[in-house]
Amino acid sequence: MTSPTDPDLRRLPIKLDSTSNGEFAPVALDAAARHARALARGAVDAAARRTGQDRRRYLVSLLGAAATLSALDRAFAAAGKRGGGYMLPAEAPFELAAAQAALAGDEFIFDVQLHHVNPQGAWRKNAGPNAFKGMPNSDCGKPDHVECFSSGALLKDVFLDSDTAMGVLSHVPGGADTNPLDFEAAGATREAARALDGTERLLLHGRCMPTLPGELDGMDAQAARHKLAAFKTYTQFGPRDGDSGFFLDDERHGTPFIERARKLGVRNIAVHKGLAFGPRGYEFSTARDIGPAAKRHPDMGFLVYHAGFDTGVKEGPYDPRAEAGVDVLIRSVIEAGHPRNVYAELGSTWRFVMRDPDQAAHLMGKLLKTFGEDHILWGTDSIWYGSPQDQIQAFRAFDIRPEFQQKYGYPAITPAIKRKIFGLNAARVYGLKPDEMRKKLVKDPVQKRKAEYANDPQPSFATYGPRTRSEFLAFRRIQGELP
């Protein structure tokens, strides 16, 4: 069976690659991950033949994901990466019931970090006709290649090709005229989804870059226009000829921003931490300010996007002397007395450590020890990585192995904990009642369309974000971050 979305039939349903979300330079796979990917391709071919299916039909079934994850796990273990693993029964690549038991969960999945691009936005005046040209998905067949990253692509990837039930439409860094997803387009996407299904599958963030003129006053207009779930900010973002960033606990930008959000009745601050754009403003990407800001504003929620993860730091056991990475966030909240209004979010972070089960085990183990199972939020940073289904399936299968649990005091990641991380925690933060939402969602038009789509699914298994340094630099230029 051929596929218009995967003509060479070489893509895997669990994606290991160098793709970036555009906020960090792509990082090449190491030898172990490259070998794991090659082994997975061979395992899929062999399993498809054994089950008597052509490769495409096998890949789009749960068997394909099971075969891929099983092969990745074997390869990583052979390479000595045994801190965590993808735990599937041996028969899962061949028997649907076994694959379903491991990978077909019924969790309420609430993705708190989704993005798309507005093809008609003001940013295109500055970006020029070649914006996003050459990116991995820019040849999707649309007359305007930027439509490949539009709200329609987001809705297919997230609500048809994954088990995601709800999401939050967030923002990327940039001012009003340079942001590929401007606030008005984000609001339009949310309203289109709401009109389509009669529910609220998409919540909406407001945006604010306090180092730019007029941004604080702009918060008022956003709150007046739409009901906002949070205000999103990037502390490392600032004008090139002025402030290079700010901290949430400073009196010039951070405190006025938080207090303006509170005045507007928006009690959640979503803040990008980690995934530094580069050397400029690097210090402001660290999470040293989270603990003090949360302690000072106990009535506000602080949702730490990416959990402070930095691709330049290999996550290991907690190091209180760390100057970057997740350990800075951990130290910040410990020194502040463990304020209970801080939440660590996994967008891009989980996707990156999927390539290294030791890092994944340390990352999840440290977060669970520090924040507890009720304060970790599921996010995927989709649309940049295509459908988030592979991230969902990998997390369902992942656990910290007993050796690491005993050595470092990490807990097992039980199904109950995964349910909380997948969506129950975020539902509480955003004031949703999952059981009531489920009753609406199972009857809405999106669910009906998804059931029809399941008769002939066409997942692309593609990633959209930059995979090379040249693609990354081009992406940064359209946002005005580079000349």
The pLDDT, as a whole number, for residue 198 is 43
Tens digits of residue pLDDT in 339-388: 999 999 999 999 999 999 999 999 999 999 999 999 999 999 988 888 99
Torsion of CA 271, 273, 276, 281, to 10 degrees: 70
Q: Would you state the structure tokens that stand for residue 306, as one six-digit string? A: 């990416």
Phi-psi group of 480: left, alpha or beta (phi > 0 → left; psi -120 to 50 → alpha; rest → beta)? left
What pLDDT band is residue 104 in, cutting at 50, 70 and 90? very high
Phi-psi group of 241: left, alpha or beta (phi > 0 → left; psi -120 to 50 → alpha; rest → beta)? alpha
Gyration radius from the chain CA atoms:
21
Is pLDDT above 80 for 264?
yes
CATH architecture classification, 110-124+154-441 = Alpha-Beta Barrel (3.20)
The proportion of the chain whose per-residue pLDDT surpasses 70, expressed as a percent, equals 83
Q: If you write DSSP's letter for every residue of 67-132 in order, what string do you get?
A: HHHHHHHHHHHHTT--SEEE---TTTTT-HHHHHHHH------EEEEE----TTSTHHHHH-TTTT
The pLDDT, as a whole number, for residue 93 is 97
H/E stretch holding 376 reads strand 376-377
Q: Would you state the structure tokens that stand for residue 362, as one six-digit string? A: 């340390």
Neighbour count for residue 98 (Cβ, 10 Å): 18
Are the C-beta atoms of 154 and 382 separated by less than 8 Å?
yes
**How many Cα atoms sit within 13 Å of 243 on the Cβ side?**
18
pLDDT higher for 378 or 207?
378
Tens digits of residue pLDDT in 226-250: 889 999 999 998 876 667 899 999 9
What pLDDT band is residue 445 in, cutting at 50, 70 and 90? confident
Q: Would you state the structure tokens that stand for residue 49, as one six-digit string? A: 């033949």
The pLDDT, as a whole number, for residue 191 is 52
Nearest-angstrom CA–CA distance, 46 and 65: 14
Tens digits of residue pLDDT in 58-86: 999 999 999 999 999 999 999 999 999 99
- Domain ranges within the chain, ordered by starting residue: 110-124+154-441
Which of 24, 34, 21, 19 shows the shortest CA–CA distance to 356?
A: 34
Which of 225, 223, 294 shows the shortest CA–CA distance to 254?
A: 294
Q: If you write DSSP's letter for every residue of 49-68 in order, what string do you get?
A: HHHT--HHHHHHSHHHHHHH
